[in-house]
Structure 1
């Protein structure tokens, strides 16, 4: 579990120049074509490796088998399915929901790119594996099952998921034990997924929206942080930012999915009270949604044909905060910018830094396309003007760093390229496959024989993005170095859309100079394709 957040919001200003030697090496490496299609394909395999429950016949990750088949039985509810968040076996609702939201956003924005790469079906499968579970977990209008298992007892054992002996108690939020952040994020995930499924499976999309609207209403009416109701989550996925960001986030996604003005009215009337137009952000994560919702609101300024004057003013305030985040990524704020390693990687904090890199790359790509679609050639930052195409170029540089164009030449996407982490902090990957050895592997046996082994993992967990290097681009590939070698679903989820977009741009040779930029947008059940020019 890599969910612990040490600092809640703003990273301190720290500017690092890249040495000429490193810059030259990076330039030479980048001259070689990066296979974004292969990265995309492998990234979607990772979600199959993280599946809990009864695996389908279409399962491609052959070293995994059924697991968690009695989840929820003790509480009299069917909670079989869903995803393990990282290298352990607790099913945490908040990061799982954020993972599905980001997968869905990527598919909604870049569905044509995913289809062109032959991966749209796999992306939709990954989304549906999560949303099917959320439907099960939302058993009553004001009941949502938040977690299965607990981190403390789970960490006592090092076992394959197929052998789990740790307690699988389920925890829930309800009217007496609120969790507005969890309810809001799950509503956002289901609303975003409804957009993706609207054309191919309208009945399923309608079901998702039914649950999403109920969950939003529940979260808004019964306000409170979920980790106050589910205390076992506090040490692993504590809600540092609280629930206000998730309520705004959910409202904006419901507006996009339903078209109902009530949700936009909510986001406008609560913009200041819930922090959407007050917070200036330098991170976007499973916990802190402000930057994401600010960019979503900025996009709505273009998508909404007519807005009341009061709404227009507030939405422009959202846009201003969105620009702040983007400018901080570009090192163009006069105040706080996101730090960078000498090799050019955006750096937020030591624990699982790649999650912040992935979300930044996604928002940069989305916003670059948004500006181009709006006909905005330059973004005005406190530190100067930035061309819209530079946002996509920065997103590309972060993706390329993840894929091996970095000072030590290692791909942080497992299974990609010639050199990648081989001792990922992941139980299932680090122990012989259940398919090869069905003999039971006990709790401490796993630690004695497999966790402490100096050998490479017997199973390659393709597509997992590990925590990544430190502030000086250093990385230690050891199973016990979980701050750097553990992977999480919410690391890979944003990169699915980024890899799809970069593959499309590479195919069209559109990353250099003046080019035409293709947009895919889903609105009101219609796919709208447009071409716009970037200089």
Structure 2
């Protein structure tokens, strides 16, 4: 009897000890004090895997043998031939079959930033994330092969949108549009430079030769962006507007591009550029939107690290600029300016709102990391905000996206029991080549688009535009504002999910 009692006691003691050990697994360089409780409502690791897998469904060009999204096939194999250049590859931005260089470059920058900040936590997914980045950079290298020229779009968006067809069947014109010294496009050029510079940091150790190619090209492309200033929305208005018209101007991209080149090259020229031009380029603007068009908030957070962690005193102001962004998100402070739905989702606009949710969550987790490293806090009009508070806000947004919302619906396709079934995506909605080898003509697909049937091909990991300001989501294919996925919605979430999966001991 004594033995069984002591054995039981021993077992319960052991379970308590194990519980505490598992609650805080030892990870060097990742201090315990900013870990979340052990029990997570979500499988962030599964969501991370899926968020990266999604990019395989968006691939254009010749697909590799290890392609996992098997319902997709080769497409766009003659892209660029209209201008006698090789523009095969890259990504379709969303649910159509056009390759838009501006959002593609931003997607690549944000995937790279995700890996730079949180790649060390990604374990087995790091290689998949690198491959997703390389699919973007390989294309961007092709698009920038000629000096002072960038090919910024393949496909005529208006004609493409007049068809509902699989990328594999595409027969709309694959028109090619470019910027050059006569038709400048500083925002696309500077974003492309940012993407190449950020990616060069990702491959610095794993593929130093490729990394050097990327950074050299980034330097050249940024020179072009800065020297020939102008908006591509003016030069190419009939083709890029209203799809990816630049509304915020190109100043934010010049600051953002310079920030990435400073980080990638450590050349004092870029730090000097930032010091001289920062204010002119809008560093202090109270613009708290961060997405494919507006880089102000991202540039502020990125440059704040130079002051906080690297102690670059000349960039002191960026801590204040970054704090202003954070304070705009915190309800109840004098600087608060952010709307939330009744269910608690950050709400910026009705079209593809989820991109602001994912990008903001990423910025909050990244800034929390910098603050923790430098033992600093945020002051919002007399209210002190800790890094932990920023992580809590970010986690709440990610949890809403994954299903903690009034509809109990995950806005990531293939994650959880309930998710959007009728996403606005041609390839996902039409039968695959394996099922229906015959060509589906341009307008024939609209009968499927307008039907209520669920999409036959699951675009695993795709995050849709999301619910409206009242937390409603109709799950209608025709409703592109809410039901269309996009690469730039997913790319910032990759880093956020890696952090959350690690902090709950799932990685």
CA distance in 2, matches of 1:82, 1:476: 31
Q: Which position in structure 2 is the counterpart of 1:68?
A: 76
1:265–1:233 CA distance, 2 compared to 1 (3 A): same
Using the alignment, how far apart are the partners of 1:85 and 1:383 within structure 2? 42
TM-score, structure 2 length as denominator? 0.91
Q: Deviations over 1:438-491 (max 9, x none)?
A: 10000111112x112211000011111101011111111010111110010000
Q: Could you say which residue in structure 2 is the equivalent of 1:187?
A: 193
- Deviation of 1:434 after TM superposition, in Å, equals 1.1
Q: Aligned match of 2:105 in 97, 106, 110?
A: 97
Does the residue aligned with 1:385 lie in a helix, a strand or coil? strand
Which residue is equivalent to 2:370? 370
Offset from partner CA, 1:312-359 (integer Å, 9 cap, x none)? 2xx222221111111112225424511001111101011110000010
Unaligned runs of 5+ in 2: 1-37
1:272 to 269, 276, 279: 279
- Alignment partners' CA distance in 1, 2:357 and 2:190: 24
Q: RMSD over aligned Cα, in angstroms?
A: 1.4
CA distance in 2, matches of 1:235, 1:186: 20
Report the alpha carbon displacement of residue 379 of structure 1 after superposing the two structures with TM.
1.5
Matched, 1:174 2:180: yes
Alpha-carbon separation, structure 1, partners of 2:282 and 2:41: 42
Give me the whole-angstrom Cα distance separating, in 2, the residues matched to 1:422 and 1:48. 19
CA distance in 2, matches of 1:172, 1:383: 50
The answer to whether the 8 A contact 1:431-1:446 is kept is: yes
Match of 1:504 in 2: 502
Matches within 5 A, 1:445-456: 445-448=444-447, 450-456=448-454
Runs of 4+ in structure 1 over 3 Å off: none
Q: Look up the match of 2:296.
A: 290
For 2:270 and 2:40, the matched residues in 1 are separated by: 47
Which one of 41, 44, 57 corresponds to residue 52 of structure 2? Answer: 44
Q: For residues 385-428 of structure 1, give each alpha carbon's deviation from its aligned partner in whole angstroms, at most 9, with x where no partner exists.
A: 11220101111001100000111100001100000000000000
Report the equivalent of 1:521: none
Q: In 2, distance between residues paired with 1:482 and 1:464?
A: 14
How big is the shift at 1:433? 0.6
Counterpart of 1:109 in structure 2 is: 117
Q: Which has the higher Rg, Structure 1 or Structure 2?
A: 2
Report how far residue 306 of structure 1 moved.
Answer: 5.0
Structure 1 residue 169, shift from structure 2 partner: 0.5
Deviation string 1:257-314 (CA, Å, 9 cap, x unpaired) is 111111011011001111112x01221010000000001111110333454xxxx2xx
Tell me which moved more, 380-389 or 454-463.
Answer: 380-389
Query: Alignment length, in residue pairs?
Result: 469
Equivalence for 1:199: 205
1: distance between equivalents of 2:160 and 2:137?
Answer: 24
Q: Distance in 2 between matches of 1:386 and 1:463?
A: 32
Q: Match for residue 170 of structure 2?
A: 164
Deviation at 1:111, TM superposition (A): 1.3
Which one of 454, 466, 481 corresponds to residue 479 of structure 2?
A: 481
User: How far apart are the structure 1 equivalents of 2:506 and 2:143?
Assistant: 43
Secondary structure of the residue aligned to 2:242 is helix
The alignment partner of 1:501 has SS state of: helix
Q: Deviations over 1:73-94 (max 9, x none)?
A: 0110000000000000110001
For 1:288 and 1:178, the matched residues in 2 are separated by: 18
1:239 counterpart residue number? 246
Cα distance in 2, alignment partners of residues 150 and 356 from structure 1: 27
Counterpart CA distance in 1 for 2:441 and 2:78 is 19
Partner of 1:356: 356
- Contact conserved, 2:413 with 2:461, CA < 8 A, in 1? yes
Say whether 1:253 aligns with 2:260: yes
Which runs of 5 or more structure 1 residues have no equivalent in the other structure?
1-29, 510-535
Q: Which residue of 2 aligns with 1:532?
A: none
User: Aligned partners of 2:266, 2:303: CA distance in 1, in Å?
Assistant: 14
CA offsets, 1:35-61, max 9 Å, x none? Answer: 000000001111000000000001000
Q: Please give the per-residue CA displacement for 1:165-186, whole angstroms capped at 9, x wherever unaligned.
A: 1110100000111011000000
Q: Which residue of 2 aligns with 1:54?
A: 62
TM-score normalised to structure 1 length: 0.86
